[in-house]
Structure 1
Amino acid sequence: MEEQNMYSWVVVGASFAALLFGPSINYAVGVFYVALLNEFNEDITLTAWLGALFSCMFALTGPVASLIINVSDCRTCVVMSGAFMMIGFSTSFLVTNMKLLFITYALIAGLGTGLAQTGSSVILGYYFPKKAGLATGISCSGVGLVSGIGSTASRVLVGLALSDERIESATVYSSLHGIMAGFTLILPFLQTSPYLRILYGLILGLYTGGAWVLVTTLTLEILGVGDFAAGLGVGLFSCGTGYLIGPPIAGALLQASGYYHSVFIFAVAMFFAATLLGFLSTMTRRPLTGDTRLDMTSPISQGNTPSCGKKSFGATKENGRNSKSVL
């Protein structure tokens, strides 16, 4: 787009609200877990899988949300998210068999959180194609308000840092995970005091919350606006896969070893792997050439209200030929 105007920041506010009242519900899974155990008296493992499936759907459904955005627009995607969450949670209130909750709660309501997550993130890339960091940080802080002070501060601070053109998203991404790997490695020494454990929780939020901002900005920087929706959907799908298989892997490690330390050692290995892959991405990434630069046209400058989709933004090659829609 051209220089950001007031409407662009209205979109940021709407994205903030959508994330606050949508995907942030995932952080209440632990509360739901206790309530479900008391209500249905089902197997602990089955109840845990119900929560795990719901909590990963906000990211696992990224490709579905990307498809809706590419076929229609971001607005349609977010409106559908509200409809799915309303239907899913309303019908979950009525069911008497917990197995039905895998459909109403985990799948239907979970799909709603996923559509909200992707739609609210992709739209920021269209309104802020060059400096999406600050806008994304403000928007993602809506989820951070639910998860804790450290996570909220991390999202805003990372967004502010990315507004400086000298700071690369991949470098920040790798650094955050590298620092978190170091703190997790010394976690056994922090168990001597409850205050040190609280400090670790604050650090965990402070150095991992901002990673969600970087998922958006890195995808936008690497793929550009034209493939942003599809790329973010795939990226979120990989995050959702980790959310789904991570807890069972941790449980298996705990059961095999009998020590929680083995689980945290595995977490350290994953943090270091993320750090290494992040730095490798800075070495192998090729800058966008003139043929792939995007000429964003704002319909606001023409007196129109944008629908934030394929009818609103045009992407053209530098020579002006082979025009195609962004969405």
Structure 2
Amino acid sequence: MAEQMERVERLFDWIDHTTKIIESEESVPYLEALIASSGLLFDPQLPENMKSTYEESLVNQLDRINLKDFSMEERRKAMQIAILKGMKGATQQHHYVTPDTIGILMGYLIEKFMDGQSEFRMFDPAVGTANFLLAVLNQLKNKKVEAFGSEVDPTLMRLAYNHTNLQEREIEYFHQDSLKPILLEPVDVVLSDLPVGYYPDDENAQGFQLKAEEGHSFAHHLFIEQSLTYTKPGGYLFFLIPNFLFEMDKDKKLNQFLAEEAYINGVLELPSSLFKEEKQGKSILILQKKGNEAKKPRKVMLAQLPSFKDAQGMNRTIDQINEWFANDR
């Protein structure tokens, strides 16, 4: 483990140093420079007619690294640290990187729910830099997953593209507003850390059942509805939701919609230690879209997860989850 962390640190140091060189020479923000530096890792071709000192600095950097020395998880973690550094101080909700421990747990849950299916299609409609999607894919080692992602922010989309190339994966991306029609056949699994807030396009929101009667609609409600649209009957949806999601559903519109469209399979509250403030707390919501052979579980899997550092507590929780699959699904 310590050796792996050393390699992650070594790769991050390279990415960070190269990014700073580009940031300084090109007078661009860190994230823009990170797009260029991470691109050099998998395609080390330098542009022509560069200033000689600038070219020499980058050539020296490229001589110091060999991407093949690093595993896929080491590459992902090094990129994640660099992205976090670039986003430090960003206030927008979509500039938020999902913690690794959640990716590991989500991968475990998807593996359990998709037991018996060696191949399936998975979509993240709020893919961001693709860190969460890639973390989960790296957990699904025994599955052949055809993956898709959608993202409106051009900087995040370019980071996702480079991040995916560094993982040597094929993911099809849609650079668009994910709440508009997507050229995508329905998938078996939807995975998403839901963007929380108001959706500004009132005209487009009119096409959704979960639109607000007046004012802006909740983006997180519309994302749930849109995700169900692009899920096959009987398919599963795994959302990271704010703990207050159902408290904010004053008119019970979301509750009623979910009762008509899906079966709730589980709500797992994540440990508060993962979040700076209590109001930022999140849970994992697991749905199965009605239709095909979907059936209501005998009881909903409910759990308040202990700290991920509490090994005994986590083992007890995993035992409870396994018991639910054996007896209550």
TM-score of the aligned structures, taking structure 2 as reference length: 0.31
Bigger share in helix: 1
TM-score of the aligned structures, taking structure 1 as reference length: 0.32
